[in-house]
Amino acid sequence: MVSPSTMKIVRESGAVPGSEFVLEVAEVRKEFPGVVALDNVKFQLRAGTVHALMGENGAGKSTLMKIIAGIYTPDKGTFKLRGVDVRLKSPLDALENGIAMIHQELNLMGPMTVSENIWIRREPKNRFGFIDHLEMRRKTEELFKRLNIEIDPVVEVGTLSVANRQMVEIAKAVSFNSDVLIMDEPTSALTEREVTHLFQIIRALKAEGKGIIYITHKMNELFDIADEVSIFRDGKYIATKNSKDLTRDEIIRMMVGREITQLFPKETVPIGNVKLSVKGLTLNGIFKDVSFDVREGEILGIAGLVGSGRSNIAETIFGVTPASSGAIEIDGKRVNIKSPAVAMHNGMAFLTEDRKETGCFLLLDIQDNTQMAVLQNRYVNYGFVEQTQLAKDSEVMAQALRVRTPDMQEPIINLSGGNQQKVLIARWLLTKPRILILDEPTRGIDVGAKAEIHKLVSQLAGQGVAVIMISSEMPEVMGMSDRIMVVHEGRVTGFLDRSEATQVKIMEMASH
């Protein structure tokens, strides 16, 4: 066993011991109260490869990555860096030993400039001991040139788009001269073009001999970029394969441990009367003159690029940001939706795009998170919450959605992303909505949970609920929707029927 600091010195001397694997962990076990997160797990990363991790939410991918990045210490297991036994005690240890993690939630400081963010704690100093801003800028430019990134090093990070922040985060990780880069769903907020750029950067890093661990739920990305794939299920290691030797179905089978016959189980249901009618809806400067109808039992998909205004339209219909002009009719009657409370009173529910920002109450438990919306209109008697009945109904709902948790008193922050999403869906289903607006309902969610959510949405439509579903994933929109509305730069560019929709047609409408 070598201490991290010794290993650091060895690394800096350049006398790095040779080994087939940059990183090797075995027999890793990690327990949390009530849950075995990892059980006898192994993982090997070769230099100069991209190694994808696949598994359902709660399979243990994130826990394993946090162990590798020094955030968690394992209860048991061996950890080898270039063949040498090491025990990491902190994220700083990991960083100094060449392991950098790019988190799903970006960790940049908004009011500071790009180069200040990258070189924080390692700022170049001039001879008076002050920060040498010119040198810092030069180093940043050099780094960006190497990675083919075009961002001004002196702008504040807070003014950058999500994609650009992601690039800065990656550049920062690379600037540590890391051997191992961990990317946790890096494309979840990126447009197609930005993804292409990201992949170029990843290939460049690969060519430099770095090992890249890539967590994703998107299958097509996997075949695009990954050399090897390791699959996990329920905290256990299942297999490591060459990605060329695998098919999509094989991967899904290994992840889920069962066949998923249909990813988009859209049932044909009778379409009823017009439930929601939007007429000439405008939000100044964001979107203009949006008109559409949704009928009972119909699923209307909204497609468009990130930033096209699709989420803003949903927010306005739900009263989060009331419209500048235009009308909303429910059951043919005009309603003035000036707040979410009014929308809910009219039978609407809205699952927002950003789980962390506008969805979860991270400090509260699952029970509170599930019941918060329904309390607006039901389960309250003279101000008092009907706790027994509500707890029972919430638990039934959580079980129906297969939320993985020891009990309803678990803080929601301890759940995986997919399970958090299920809790939020449970929150809205408890309100028994007649109009359901879903904004990226399956983002960052594994295939199994995805199929469950799709099935659920389909069932709800079968019960006559009018559904609006926004999604960046083309197959999802096409698979689930009866009709698709395409949005581009705040305008509706067209509608496509289920039968006539193709990926090419949608992309054409979405990009001009």
Partner 1 sequence: MTDTQQDAGKSLTGLKKIRRWPPEVSILLVLVGIMLVFEILGWILIGDSFIANRQRLSIIVLQVAVTGVIAIGVTQVIITAGVDLSSGSMVGFIAMVAASLAQVSTNERAVFGAYGLTDLNPVWAILSGLTLGLLLGFINGFIIAKTKIPPFIATLGMMVSVRGLAKWYTLGQPVALLSDSFSWFGHSFPVFGFPVPRPVIVFLIVAVIFHILLTYTRYGKFTYAIGANPQAARVSGINIGNHLMKVYSIAGLLSGLAAVMTAARAESAQPGMGVGYELDAIASCVIGGTSLGGGVGRITGTFIGTIILGVVTSGFTFLKVGAYYQEIVKGIIIVAAVVIDQNRQNKRRKSS
Helix (H) or strand (E) holding 22: strand 21-32
Work out which of 274, 320, 456, 507 binds partner 1, going by CB under 8 A. Answer: 320
Widest Cα–Cα separation across the chain: 77
d(C-alpha 260, C-alpha 454), whole Å: 12
Contact present, 343 and 433 (Cβ < 8 Å): no
Of the pair 459, 502, the CB lying nearest partner 1 is at 459
Residue among 309, 311, 342, 308 at smallest CA distance from 328:
342
Footprint of partner 1 on residues 21-60 (CB under 8 A)? 32-35
Work out which of 402, 459, 475, 502 binds partner 1, going by CB under 8 A. Answer: 402
- Identify which range of 6-14, 46-54, 136-144, 380-388 contacts partner 1 by CB under 8 A: 380-388
d(C-alpha 347, C-alpha 333), whole Å: 13
Footprint of partner 1 on residues 136-195 (CB under 8 A)? none
Is residue 291 within the footprint of partner 1 (CB under 8 A)? no
d(C-alpha 436, C-alpha 438), whole Å: 6
Is residue 344 within the footprint of partner 1 (CB under 8 A)? yes
Work out which of 371, 420, 458, 471 binds partner 1, going by CB under 8 A. Answer: 371
Footprint of partner 1 on residues 225-284 (CB under 8 A)? 234, 256-259
Of the pair 8, 253, the CB lying nearest partner 1 is at 253
Q: What residues contact residue 442 under an 8 Å CB cut-off, 6+ apart?
A: 421, 449, 450, 453, 454, 471, 473, 476
Work out which of 239, 263, 364, 507 binds partner 1, going by CB under 8 A. Answer: 364
Is residue 337 within the footprint of partner 1 (CB under 8 A)? no
Residue among 201, 213, 2 at smallest CA distance from 97:
2
Query: What are the CB-based long-range contacts (under 8 Å, 24+) for 241-245?
Result: 243/52
Is residue 387 within the footprint of partner 1 (CB under 8 A)? yes
- Identify which range of 123-131, 151-159, 239-247, 403-411 contacts partner 1 by CB under 8 A: 403-411
Residue type, 22: V
- The least distance separating partner 1 from the CB of residue 86, rounded to whole angstroms, comes to 22
Residue among 216, 238, 236, 235 at smallest CA distance from 226:
216
Is residue 105 within the footprint of partner 1 (CB under 8 A)? no
Is residue 376 within the footprint of partner 1 (CB under 8 A)? yes
Q: State whether residue 264 is helix, strand or coil.
A: coil
Of the pair 169, 315, the CB lying nearest partner 1 is at 315
d(C-alpha 483, C-alpha 477), whole Å: 9
Is residue 126 within the footprint of partner 1 (CB under 8 A)? no
- The least distance separating partner 1 from the CB of residue 373, rounded to whole angstroms, comes to 4
- The least distance separating partner 1 from the CB of residue 299, rounded to whole angstroms, comes to 22
Is residue 385 within the footprint of partner 1 (CB under 8 A)? yes
Is residue 340 within the footprint of partner 1 (CB under 8 A)? yes
- Identify which range of 131-139, 269-277, 290-298, 367-375 contacts partner 1 by CB under 8 A: 367-375
The CB density around residue 273, as the number of other CB atoms within 10 Å, is 12
Say if strands 236-242 and 180-184 run parallel, antiparallel, or are unpaired: unpaired
Contact present, 430 and 371 (Cβ < 8 Å): yes
Q: Which residues are bridge partners to 460 per DSSP?
A: none
**Residues forming the site for partner 1 (CB under 8 A):** 32-35, 234, 256-259, 318, 320, 339-341, 343-344, 350, 352, 357-364, 368, 371-373, 375-376, 380, 383-385, 387, 395, 398-399, 402-411, 413-414, 427, 448
